[in-house]
Amino acid sequence: MIDRYGPWAVVAGGSEGVGAAFAHRLADAGLNLVLIARRPGPLAETADAVRAKGVEVRTLELDLVSPDALAKVREVTDGLDVGLLVFNAGANSYRHEFVTGDLDGFQGVIDLNITAQLALTHHFGAPMKERGRGGILLVGSLAGYMGQARISVYSAVKAFGRIFAEGLWLEMREHGVDVLELVLGVTRTPAMERAGLDMDIPGLLVADPDDVAREGLDHLPDGPVWVAGGNYATARKRAGFPRAELVADAHALMQRMLPGPS
């Protein structure tokens, strides 16, 4: 892995959950790491843990929607030979019915999941193409296969991410750069737990962060899209027709998971 994707990897959203799992697996493979995250406590904890494995680690406490985000990233990465970008920072930061919601809140979801992702991919992808090797792993979501109430914008940006990854894969595959969107279903992460989601519904597939990180790295050469956690059948169903029935059924399941009124 280090010959193909090293010697440095950048993990955006690399402090806990799936991001921390990526950091540990990459450190085990001998890659040095730049970890970017908003939460200083988990960021420092993960950095210390992977640094103890013998790799060099740089950290950047940063909100990727800030206007100077790319400049801040460049301050800690310029001069490094970055062979792998893992963009795991695309959370849903605002949940609300669209027409009564705050447009600034929705814009934040767009800025994180689209604008920041594009900026980092553009910045690190160009040198990878020039060198003729590297990898870009964009973490997506099953939410991007279907519109959902109160997360309509989040679902839409995740759909964007998948289509973007497919096009980028076509552009980069002839230049030795692997591109993959890793589609996650329900994953038992601290963020999901803080959101109060009920992940113990009988029959619900709930993935472990380390398992999905392993799948993502194992299948990075198998782009443009890999559906993790045993959710391939669900993704295929959500992409089908008739849409009204499928969307209504998925909404009913989501209502069982979400806390409080919908």
Is 232 known to be catalytic?
no
* Count of Cβ atoms closer than 10 Å to residue 223 Cβ: 24
The gap between the terminal CA atoms of the chain, to the nearest Å, is 45
Peptide bond into 7 cis (omega under 30): yes
Nearest CA to 33 out of 46, 41, 42, 251 is that of 46
- Backbone φ, ψ for residue 125 (5° rounding): -70, -35
139: DSSP letter:
E
- Report which DSSP code applies to 207: B
Other CB atoms within 10 A of residue 254 CB: 17
Both tokens of residue 29? 């493979």
Catalytic residue (one of 5, 94, 145, 154): 154
Task: Retrieve residue 233's tokens.
Answer: 């059948």
- Scanning 1-143, the segments in alpha helix (DSSP H) are 2-5, 17-28, 40-51, 69-77, 103-110, 117-131
Per-residue DSSP letter, 109:
H
Question: Is 261 strand, coil or helix?
Answer: coil
Q: Which two tokens stand for residue 13?
A: 């959203």
Q: Do the Cβ atoms of 105 and 150 come closer than 8 Å?
A: no
Write out the catalytic residue numbers: 154
